[in-house]
Amino acid sequence: MSSPHDDPALTKLMERLTSEWTIHGPSATLENLARDLERMRTYRQALETLLLQARLELGLPAIIDEGGLGCDVPETTRAAYEQRYVAAVRRVGHAVLAAGDLVNAWPYFRLIGEPEPIREALEQDRWLASGSTTVVQDDDPAASDQREQHAEAQFNRLVEIALYEGAHPARGWQFILERHGLCAAITAFDQLPPDRKVRGRCAGLLAIRLREQLRGGLIHELERRGATIPDSARQVGAPLAPLWVGRPELFADDAYHIDLSHLAATVRLAPLSDDPQALSAAIDLADYGTKLAAPFQQSGDPPFEALYPDHALYLRGLLGDDPDAVERAIAWLEDRLPTPPPSSFIEALPAQALARLLIRHDRLLDAARLAATYLYGVPETALTVPTPAQLCLRAGPQGVALLVELARTHHDLPLLAAALALSNAPNHND
C-alpha cells in the first residue's frame, strides 16, 4: 500500500513550502498551498492549511491546544476565528462538491449547519445515475462486481444523507422511488419529516408514478384482448378513463391491474399534494378504485369512509378545475363536521380536510373560522394544515380579530397577548 510519503506531488509541495515562506511570507504561502491541496483533492490538509493561515493572521498560536476553539483562543479573537473557521470549512466543502463528490462534501456543510449547497446539488438528476448498477463490462468479472458494489454503496449513502440525515428528505425519498420502486417508497414515506411541503411533494410523485404503472397494466390487458388503443391514451400524463370507459369486462371476475395495497396507500396520501398534475393523477387512481369489485372497496378514516369515491370527490375539489366540484366537496365535508368541539383527533379529521380545501382556494377567513371552532387544541404535530393561530394571521385584520376572540374563549393568555400585539400593529390599524 502506498502512503503520502510516496506521493511525488506532495513531496514537491513540501520542498516549495520552505522557500516560498521566506520569499512571500506565511499568509500568501499558505493560501497558495491550500489552493494546490484543493486541486490535488487532499481536502483535509487543505482545511488544516486554511485554519493555520487564519490563526497566524489573527495573531493566534500556530497550534491550538486541546479543545479546538478552546482556551488558547482569547475572547477578543474568538468570534473572528470562528468566522474564519466556518469560511474555511465552507470553502473546502465547495471544493469537494465541485469535484463531484457529494458524499464527502456533506460532512463539511453539516459541520457548519449549511445544508443548502448539498440540497441544491441533490436536485440534479445525475445523482440518480451515480448509483446505477449498469457497469462497463470487461474481462475482469471481479473488477466489474467491485465497481457495481461501490456504485450501490454510493447510492445508498446518498439516500442516507438526503433522507435520513436531513439534507433533502424529499429528494432522498424520490431516489428510493426511482431506484427501488413503489413498495419501498411507500414503506419509507413514514420516515419523512412532518413537513407539509416535503410530504406533499412525495405524495404527488407517488400518484404520478402509480398512474403510469396502472396505464401499463390496463394497456397490457386490453392488448391481450385484442382491443385497439388510441395513441392519445398511451401518452404519459394522459387521462386513464378512456382505457376503461365502455369496457366493463376489464373488471369482471374481481379483476384488477395493479397492486391494490399500493393503490390504496397512494390515494390516501394524494390529498397532501398541491401539484395539479399529481392531483389529476390521483383522481384517475381514485376513479379506477371505484370500478373495482366489492371485495376490493376499502374503508378509511373520516371523512373518507368510502376510500375511493370519497377521495375522488375530494380530490376534484382540491384540483378546482370545476367550480361546482369545489362546492360539492365543501358541502360534503360540512355535512361530516361533528358537533363542536370535536372530542377526539379522529373527529377533527373532517375539519382538517375542509380547512385544506378552503386554503387551497384562498378562502382563508373561512378556513380560520373553521380552525378556530374545530382545531384549537389539536397538537401541531397531528395537523396537516396550519394551526388556528397561523390561519387567523393569514386571514388579515378580520382574522386577527378572530384570534383575539379565540384567545379569550379559551383563556389562552400568551395567545391573547400575541393577538393584541398584532391588532395594534400598523398594518392592522388601517
pLDDT in tens, 403-425: 999 999 999 999 999 999 988 76
Spatial neighbors of 313 by CB under 8 A, at least 6 apart, are 325, 328, 329, 332
19 located within any domain: yes
Residues 82 and 170 in one domain: no
Q: Are residues 106 and 167 in the same domain?
A: no
87 plus 176 within the same structural domain: no
List of residues 6+ apart from 367 with CB closer than 8 A: 355, 358, 359, 385, 391, 395
- Residue 328 forms part of a structural domain: no
Looking at the structure, do residues 5 and 108 belong to the same domain, yes or no? yes
What's the confidence (pLDDT) of residue 344? 86
Cell of 223: 392488448
Measured CA distances, 36 to 100, 146, 203, 386 (Å): 18, 31, 46, 51
CB 31 within 8 A of CB 20: no
What are the b/e assignments for 371-400, b being 16+ CB within 10 Å? Answer: bbbbbbebeeeebebbebbbbbbebeeebb
Sign of CA dihedral 121, 126, 132, 135: negative
304, part of any domain = no
Domain boundary among 161, 190, 219: 190
Q: What are phi and psi of 306, to 5 degrees?
A: -100, 100
Beta carbons of 291 and 284 less than 8 angstroms apart: no
Residue-range definition of the domain harbouring residue 93: 1-112
Whether residue 101 is found in the same domain as residue 160? no
| CB of 15 closer than 8 Å to CB of 33 | no
User: Please, what is the end-to-end C-alpha distance for the chain in angstroms?
Assistant: 76
106 and 6 within one domain: yes
Q: Which of 36, 40, 58, 59 is nearest to 49 (CA)?
A: 36
| Region of poorest pLDDT, from 104-113, 259-268, 365-374, 376-385 | 376-385
Contacts of residue 280, Cβ cutoff 8 Å, sequence gap at least 6: 239, 319
Label residue 139 by pLDDT band (50, 70, 90): low
Within a domain: 181: yes
DSSP designation for 338? P
Q: Kindly tell me if the per-residue pLDDT of 335 is higher than 50.
A: yes
Number of domains in the chain: 3
Decide if 378 is inside a domain: yes
Q: Which long-range contacts (CB under 8 A, 24 or more apart) does 357-362 make?
A: 357/314, 357/317, 357/318, 357/326, 357/329, 357/330, 357/333, 358/330, 359/385, 359/386, 359/391, 360/274, 360/318, 360/320, 361/320, 361/326
Question: What sign for the dihedral angle of Cα 10, 12, 15, 21?
Answer: negative
92 lies in the same domain as 15: yes
Helix (H, G, I), strand (E, B) or coil at 259: coil
Asked if 173 and 99 sit in the same domain, the reply is no
Would residue 295 count as lying in a domain?
no
- Give the model's confidence band at 87: pLDDT under 50 very low, under 70 low, under 90 confident, else very high: very high
Mean pLDDT of 293-306: 93
Share of the chain above pLDDT 90, in %: 75
pTM of the model: 0.84
Q: What is the DSSP letter of 227?
A: -
Q: Does residue 366 sit within a domain? A: yes
- How confident is the model over 50-58, as a mean pLDDT? 93
Q: For residue 75, is it within any domain?
A: yes
Domain boundary among 112, 133, 160: 112
C-alpha cell at 259: 397492486
**Of the candidates 173, 190, 207, which is a domain's last residue?**
190
pLDDT tens, position by position, 338-364: 988 888 888 999 999 999 999 999 999
**What mean pLDDT, rounded, does the chain reach?**
90
On whether both 106 and 170 belong to a single domain, the answer is no
- Co-location of 36 and 99 in the same domain: yes
Q: Can you say how many angstroms the Cα of residue 294 is from the centroid of all Cα atoms in its chain?
A: 36
pLDDT value, residue 137: 43
Torsion angle of alpha carbons 77, 79, 83, 85, nearest 10°?
A: 60
- Tell whether 364 and 421 lie within a shared domain: yes
Both 156 and 107 in one domain: the answer is no
Place of cell 375539489: 317
